[in-house]
């Protein structure tokens, strides 16, 4: 997995497969949240994201007041998040 952060945008390329991937994304998002209340999370390739990451994203939206724009490059991930009822919460878009 490759992770980049610039201004209010966090970009993930490759599969989100391990706990360390989640920890890296969480850390990057936490740092971004310190300076921005609107965050763009671009996930290009991953088919799924783990429940820990979904829970963390819900937390930063609902408890921390962050406006998240999640952009999914994989149709399977897009449909999964939509089926979970998270499209509005995450302002879900296709990449």
Query: What's the pLDDT score for residue 48?
Result: 87
What does the pLDDT average to over 75-88? 96
Give yes or no for residue 84 having a pLDDT over 90: yes
What is the pTM assigned to this prediction?
0.94
Calculated CA dihedral for residues 25, 29, 32, 34, nearest 10 degrees: -130
What does the pLDDT average to over 2-7? 96
Residues 19-39: tens digit of each pLDDT = 999 999 999 999 999 999 999
Half-sphere exposure of 24 (CA within 13 A, CB side): 16
The domains of the chain, with CATH numbers, are: 2-94 (3.30.750.24)
């Amino acid at each position: 997995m490759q992770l980049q952060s610039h201004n209010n945008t966090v970009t993930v390329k490759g599969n989100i497969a391990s706990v360390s991937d989640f920890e890296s994304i969480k850390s990057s998002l936490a740092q971004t949240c310190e300076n921005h209340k609107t965050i763009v999370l671009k996930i290009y390739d991953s088919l799924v994201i783990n429940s820990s990451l979904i829970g963390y994203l819900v937390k930063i939206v609902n408890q921390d007041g962050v406006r998240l724009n999640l952009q999914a490059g994989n149709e399977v991930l897009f449909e999964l998040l939509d089926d979970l009822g998270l499209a509005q919460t995450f302002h879900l878009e296709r990449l």
